[in-house]
Amino acid sequence: MASHRKSRSTGTRVAGIRTPALATAALTSVALLSQTANAAPSDDRPSLEEVEKKVDDLYRQAGSATEKYNAAKEKTSKQRKKVDTLLDDVAKRTQKLNDARTELGSFASAQYRTGASVPETATLLLADSPQDYFDQNQLMNRLTGRQKTAVDDYVTQQSETMKKRQEATEGLDTLTDSQNDLKTAKSTVQKKLATARELLSELTAEEKARLAAIEKKKQDEAARKAAELAKQQAAAEAERKRQEQAAQQQGSGSSSGSSESSPPGTSNGTQAQKALAFAQAQIGKPYVWGATGPGSYDCSGLTQAAWKAAGVTLPRTTYDQVNAGTTVSVSQAQPGDLVFFYDDISHVGLYVGDGKMVHAPKPGAYVREESIFYDGESSIYSVVRPA
């Protein structure tokens, strides 16, 4: 007799237990999801080259924000001095106004004592606009010479005081705006630097070593470029001297020949030497954004201090320093010249010669001497001779 029982699915045994086919599929899916989840972090992690580029970009953005901070700080300082002067002026004028009011008050008291029916000077003191009061009541026609002088003085002092108070109010508003800009720039710098530090902290020891190797390769290339520039400049100088000597020998006039063929800026040689000597003496001091010395510097703080030591006043920021002199080509750069970088003009160094400069590079670094091609030839914006 045939059995009517249905045959059971063979299924799959897992650890000695028979499991249904559906459960097997579920377990397979779980395993695949687990593998995918484990693989995801490594797939999403940026490459070392991407980290390097991101960090470099962050430092550049921090440098740009630093110059904005420097500009806002300078503006805030100037505005604060202006407001202090205005408030001091308001205080002095208020005192003069009070003196004039006191004198007019004495006239009002005299009117009461003499039995005058209308104490016009007292009414004047309560008027919102003394000038309107004069126009409407023709008070001036009924005052003595001394009273007229007192009234004129009162009107003048009130007008000037109101004007200065308005200027002080507007000045305080501008000061508040400057302080807000300063806070925003400071916050931006801090955030950029914090992000850069976080990215670097996540690197393994092996990745940090590879990153250092990449940086070393960049420095070697920059040094090679600097050596090329040094050769070009030496050749140009030798040719200049040769032409000068030839002109002298031909009797063309040493003074005119020398004047035309001399490289621009030779008259500032002593000042440039002083500026350069100062900058080189700062080598080894830390970069601190917003710093102007003497213990630490940011890039524009260093160049400003260097040329100040030479008796030349430069503006505080790179944006203004780039306009504080004569622009020359890279091939004509001379010791003491300012070398600016990037399209946003957010970095500057002091040219040493032979394709090198002294500069305060970035947070975590120190004032040092290195190739002007440290970030590639295309990063150079311009060269400016301050004096």
| Strand partners for 385 | 326
pLDDT tens by residue, 310-343: 999 999 999 999 999 999 999 999 999 999 999 9
> Could you tell me the pLDDT band of residue 165, with boundaries at 50, 70 and 90?
confident
Q: What is the pLDDT of residue 265?
A: 41
- Given a cut of 60, whether residue 359 has pLDDT beyond it is yes
In angstroms, rounded to a whole number, what is the distance separating the alpha carbons of residues 111 and 143?
12
pLDDT tens by residue, 289-304: 999 999 999 999 999 9
CA distances from 256 to 240, 253, 348 (A): 14, 6, 35
Q: What is the pLDDT of residue 74?
A: 93
Q: What is the pLDDT of residue 177?
A: 92
| Strand partners for 358 | 350, 369
In angstroms, rounded to a whole number, what is the distance separating the alpha carbons of residues 111 and 222?
90
Nearest to 263 by CA among 234, 228, 303: 234
- Given a cut of 90, whether residue 280 has pLDDT beyond it is yes
pLDDT top residue among 254 and 276: 276
Q: What is the pLDDT of residue 248?
A: 87
- Given a cut of 50, whether residue 170 has pLDDT beyond it is yes
Quote the mean pLDDT of the chain.
Answer: 80
Q: What is the pLDDT of residue 149?
A: 72
- Given a cut of 50, whether residue 21 has pLDDT beyond it is no
CB 363 within 8 A of CB 211: no
pLDDT top residue among 254 and 73: 73
Q: What is the mean pLDDT of residues 18-45?
A: 45
Q: What is the pLDDT of residue 162?
A: 87
344's CB contacts (< 8 A; 6+ apart) are 64
Q: Which residues are catalytic?
A: 299, 347, 359
Q: What is the mean pLDDT of residues 254-273?
A: 56
Q: What is the pLDDT of residue 119?
A: 46
pLDDT tens by residue, 206-230: 999 998 998 899 999 999 999 999 9
In angstroms, rounded to a whole number, what is the distance separating the alpha carbons of residues 97 and 268?
54
Q: What is the pLDDT of residue 37?
A: 42
CB 363 within 8 A of CB 299: no
- Given a cut of 50, whether residue 256 has pLDDT beyond it is no
Q: Which amino acid is at 246?
A: A
Q: What is the mean pLDDT of residues 179-203?
A: 93
Q: What is the pLDDT of residue 167?
A: 86
What six digits make up the tokens of 128? 């919102």
- Given a cut of 60, whether residue 239 has pLDDT beyond it is yes
pTM over 0.75, yes/no: no
pLDDT tens by residue, 93-143: 888 778 777 766 666 565 555 555 444 554 555 455 555 555 544 455 555
Q: What is the mean pLDDT of residues 350-354?
A: 96
pLDDT tens by residue, 32-53: 444 444 444 445 677 888 888 9
Longest CA–CA separation in the chain, Å: 147
